Chains A and B, each alone.
Chain A
Amino acid sequence: MEKVDVVCPFCGCLCDDLVVTVDGGHVTDIKNGCVVSRSKFMNHGKHRVSSATAHNEKKNIQEAVDAAIKILSHSKRPLIYGLSSTECGAISKAIEIAEVTGGVVDNTASVCHGPTILALQQVGESKASLGEIMNRADMVVFWGANPTEAHLRHITRYSVMPKGMYVEGRKARKVVVVDVRKTRTARMADKFIQIQPNGDYEVLQTMRALVRGEEIDVDEVAGIPIDELKALVTEMSEAKFGAVFFGLGLTQSEGRHMNIDAAVGLVSEMNRKTKFVLTPMRGHYNVAGANTVFTWQTGHPYAVDFSRGYPRYNPGEFTAVDLLASGEVDAALIIASDPAATFPVDAAKHLAKIPVVTLEQKKTPTTMLSEVVIPVATAGIEADGTAYRMDGVALRLSKLVEPPEGVFSDEHILDLILNGLKEAAK
């Protein structure tokens, strides 16, 4: 049986045109998806956590849930983390668990586009949904982003190749890539500007000054000749509609949120001359959803502490890497993420010292360090729910097949844990 217009649960593109063939309760083919999407759908049954475990012993789901409840209710400073690769119902439960336990809840934006959010909180952001860019952009700049490796259909589905309402397609768009190395994305661009690592802040501020007609009294900035920057600024001013897509090249190098602050400033300034927008290339398919749910329920997008009975927000204090590296956390509940594989070693090491409860589909370094592991369904394939695309558009994920025997959704398991914690609190 073929299911059409299936939403893909991998990256922030959240493509919704997949055609998935389901036979005898298994996914047997997928069309339209990129190679990573194909891997996710075709391999969703591989390397699955075969049974819930607690303290290295096989347990049934309820026993594992009970062990999780025990760990969290005895914890003085629990961290709940992850949430970008699951759907919004689960995220909602995770937040409530943090509120009930007085712990901290954080999501992967913390180590991804958290700095983008910090910049937004300082200066704002001028953005548009992906279709606006598809329909109108005659100039597209990828800055510190490499969609040919990380958002594989972005260029073909949204930003460059499509024929839009006012743009004939690839030929009618000018594509510029700014990066520290010549990536595959750079090779398909009309112009590649190589920038020295950690030079983005100076270059962006220089460009802002140039837009305002200021004279710059150096010959080059971060390895880029001033004339090249002047030419780029002119091209941008002459565009009818420009879009800047930026990635972790800006958020993870020195300057962090100040790099984005400068990029936002440049784009806002360009709005005085023509039309310009910028979009962060959100990595995981529902990290935008995690920020969105966090924000409407607590007022804050990530790094939320409930130890005083109300939400507090302070990146650097309540962000997962800092909490783990400082050793402040004495238990962790990890959902839809693998911090042992993605966090700097000092933070990852702390996970080995404290009891960790992990909800995961497959074996990962985090499950290998966990006290309790609970297998869960794959949202978007084995469980439905809502996910938010990189530009904030919400779409419904489908349940195409049943999860493995005895395996439930993240939301269901978190609900069991939440109810157990509420009981324990009485």
Chain B
Amino acid sequence: MTKIEVTLISGRTAKQGIGLEEGKPSEAYINSVCMVQLCPGDVEKLGVNEGDPVTVATDHGSVTVHWEGDEGLDSGIIFFPYGPWANQVYASGTGSTGMPLMKGIPAMVEPGGKVLLLEEIVESLREEG
């Protein structure tokens, strides 16, 4: 079980768009955003199999999601679609610009962890700290 150091970038995907227009409670949406894209080389380094959860952690927070391979990514870069799971790891400091940093963030990825449901992730927002 290896931890790897990566740079995290975020963004939109067509699947996320289709899903959110169906509705955020839909499977299509949840599957499209409760996941992170990894390059095949990094998948090997992590030693994860299809269906295994991975945990992404930044200085600010950590979250567990599913993963998908993407050949367009270089080793050391992960892509996290916008959504309630991704937001767990972003800091809200904006440097007085109003815009938080949501791309190019140093992060760690390791296998394992428990994937929360949409309701659980939302409930977790009610917790202190």
| Interface positions of A (Cβ within 8 A of B) | 10-11, 34-36, 39-40, 43-44, 46-47, 110-111, 114-115, 118, 146, 148-150, 152, 180-184, 186-187, 194, 197-198, 248-249, 251-254, 256-257, 283, 302-303, 315-317, 319-322, 324-325, 338, 340-349, 351-352, 362-365, 368-369
Bound Cα distance from A302 to B94, whole angstroms: 15
A324 and B94 alpha carbons, distance in the complex (Å): 12
Let me know if B104 is at the binding interface, CB within 8 A.
yes
Given contacts A180-B77, A321-B94, A340-B125, contact A365 B102 (CB under 8 A): no
Contact B12 A325 (CB under 8 A): no
C-alpha gap A315/B87 in the complex (Å): 21
A sample of 11 more A-B contacts (CB under 8 A), given A110-B98, A248-B11, A257-B99, is A39-B21, A39-B22, A149-B12, A180-B103, A186-B72, A256-B95, A321-B100, A349-B127, A362-B24, A368-B122, A369-B125
- Give, as a whole number of angstroms, the nearest-CB distance from B83 to chain A: 6
Asked if residues A345 and B100 are in contact (CB atoms below 8 Å), the reply is: no
In the complex the two chains form, is B72's CB within 8 Å of A343's CB?
Answer: no
Question: Is B54 interfacial (CB-CB < 8 Å)?
Answer: no
Q: How far is the CA of A249 from the CA of B101 in the complex (A)?
A: 11
Partner of B98, one of A180, A186, A319: A319
Interface size on B, residues (CB 8 A): 53
**Other-chain residue from B19, B88, B102 in contact with A252 (beta carbon distance below 8 A):** B102
A302 to B99, CA, bound (A): 12
| A364-B72 in contact (CB<8A) | no
**Roughly how many angstroms separate A344 CA and B21 CA in the complex, as a whole number?**
22
Chain B residues with CB below 8 A from A197, complex form? 7, 9, 77, 103-104
A316 to B95, CA, bound (A): 7
Using an 8 Å CB-CB cutoff, how does the interface string of B72-106 with A read, 1 for contact, 0 for none?
11100101001110011111111111111111100
Given contacts A111-B98, A111-B99, A152-B14, contact A43 B125 (CB under 8 A): no
